[in-house]
Amino acid sequence: MLKKLLFPTAKQHNTKPYLCRMKILDGKKASQAIKDELKIDVAQLSAEGKKIPHLAAILVGANGASETYIAAKVKACEEVGFISTLIRFEETISEAKLLAKIKELNNDPDVDGILVQLPLPKHISDEEVINSIDPDKDVDGFHPVNIGRLMQGLPTYIPATPYGIMLLLEHFKIETSGKHAVVIGRSNIVGRPMSVLLSSNTYPGNCTVTICHSKTKNLNDYCLQADIIIAALGKPEFVTADMVKEGAVVVDVGITRVEDSTRKSGFKLKGDVAFDEVAPKCSWITPVPGGVGPMTIAALMKNTYHSCITKN
Ligand code: NAD
């Protein structure tokens, strides 16, 4: 298990006050800074003859978006100097075979982190698969043991996307203490852990958090009261200017592929925020792409590094 807290306590940080003019929470820049630091740390491990972090990633089937995400994770491993193993299975693989592979990776002392790219085919239970990963190698932070530790404020593997958002807020020294954060979305991998992290007695953290979801009434009213909005619902351009208070910090988690025949790929990526109209009202805002996406990968790299140095 991790031995140190991943975020400083609220007393240990300095933050800048909100600025009036909109600024970009540039995830590419922040993630590069994290990867550059990790690269130095890995070089140090190597120089000392210590073990190099090893991430094993499993991809089932050939979903276009999953292929893109997994390729980006493998590339990030190369960039920071980790070893990575990509294990591919046909869409038709049985759950038993997949679980057997995870067991093998759990028992392999050379593997520090295991991730299974979601979504999985319908005949395989996400829950069974997540629960089968050794919590000490669960660098995606989805295992119930790690979620439980997060709830208790104990050192843990924080799910990569909310962890990436916390790192982004930290990188740009965004003031969070006492702010009202509205999280839209309550999924186990984004919205719910995000709400726990933002309400924790850490920096970033100490927000008063409202968590909204598909059954929330008067969502606009909550959003208009928000100093910080985390939009994680997966509905393109859902958050519009009339929902955002002047000076708010807006973090757009959404990534939806929207058809675009003018592009070679045939699609473009859209966030959950109508960027063009919302941005002028914000103090800070994430772009899509180039915001939360790269931070998720940087957070995964950090979790894998910590797994390695904790065990070895
Ligand atoms: P999900 O489908 O599991 O959860 C969506 C949540 O949004 C649900 O809790 C639901 O209650 C809520 N919701 C749906 N419609 C709503 C509405 N009209 N009003 C208020 N709440 C509503 O999705 P998820 O896995 O949490 O992902 C959310 C988005 O974030 C998706 O676009 C996904 O692709 C993206 N995502 C991005 C990254 C990244 O690295 N950038 C990582 C994970 C997910």
Helices 64-80 and 27-47: crossing angle in degrees, nearest 10, is 50
Average pLDDT over residues 178-201: 97
* Mutation pick for ligand 1 pocket among 214, 239, 300 (CB with most ligand atoms within 8 Å): 214
Asked whether 93 lines ligand 1 (CB < 6 A), one says no
pLDDT for position 6: 60
Average pLDDT over residues 201-211: 98
Distance 190 CA to ligand 1 centre (A): 7
Distance 272 CA to ligand 1 centre (A): 9
Q: Report whether pLDDT(5) > 60.
A: no
pLDDT for position 18: 44
Q: Which amino acid is at 121?
A: P
Report which of 101, 73, 30 is spatially closest to residue 286, judged by C-alpha positions.
Answer: 30
Distance 41 CA to ligand 1 centre (A): 34
Distance 116 CA to ligand 1 centre (A): 19
* Mutation pick for ligand 1 pocket among 233, 251, 257, 258 (CB with most ligand atoms within 8 Å): 233
pLDDT for position 9: 64
CB within 8 Å of 228: residues ≥ 6 apart: 174, 176, 179, 180, 181, 182, 198, 207, 248, 249, 250, 251
Return the ligand 1 atom nearest residue 164 CA. 40
Q: What is the pLDDT of residues 133-142, one digit of tens each?
A: 999 999 999 9
Asked whether 184 lines ligand 1 (CB < 6 A), one says yes
Report which of 166, 252, 168 is spatially closest to residue 206, judged by C-alpha positions.
Answer: 166
Q: Which amino acid is at 204?
A: P
State phi, psi for 284 to the nearest 5 degrees.
-140, 145
Characterize 125-162 residue by residue with b for buried, 16 or more Cβ atoms within 10 angstroms of its Cβ, and e for exposed.
eeeebbbbbbbbbbbbbbbebbbebbeeeebbbbbbbb
Q: Report whether pLDDT(7) > 80.
A: no
Characterize 39-58 residue by residue with b for buried, 16 or more Cβ atoms within 10 angstroms of its Cβ, and e for exposed.
eebbeebeeeeebbbbbbbb
Average pLDDT over residues 68-85: 97
Asked whether 66 lines ligand 1 (CB < 6 A), one says no
User: How many CB atoms neighbour CB 285 within 10 A?
Assistant: 25
The DSSP line for 134-149 is -GGG-TT--SHHHHHH
* Mutation pick for ligand 1 pocket among 251, 253, 269, 296 (CB with most ligand atoms within 8 Å): 253
Distance 280 CA to ligand 1 centre (A): 24
pLDDT for position 21: 79
Q: Measure the CA angle with vertex 28, ends 25 and 34; round to 5°.
A: 100
pTM over 0.75: yes
Q: Report whether pLDDT(99) > 70.
A: yes
Omega prior to 121 cis, within 30 of 0: no
- The residues facing 267 across adjacent strands are 259
Q: What is the pLDDT of residues 30-45, one digit of tens each?
A: 999 999 999 999 999 9
Asked whether 121 lines ligand 1 (CB < 6 A), one says no
Asked whether 219 lines ligand 1 (CB < 6 A), one says yes
d(CA 274, CA 238): 7
Report which of 165, 160, 98, 87 is spatially closest to residue 133, judged by C-alpha positions.
Answer: 98
Supply the residue whose CA is at minimum distance from atom 4 of ligand 1.
Answer: 187
Strands (DSSP E) contained in 107-179 are 113-116
Q: Report whether pLDDT(180) > 60.
A: yes
Q: Report whether pLDDT(10) > 80.
A: no
Distance 77 CA to ligand 1 centre (A): 26
Tokens of 182: 């509205």
Which pLDDT band, with edges at 50, 70 and 90, does 19 fall under? Answer: very low
Which pLDDT band, with edges at 50, 70 and 90, does 225 fall under? Answer: very high
Which pLDDT band, with edges at 50, 70 and 90, does 215 fall under? Answer: very high
- Residue positions annotated with a catalytic role: 73, 117, 140
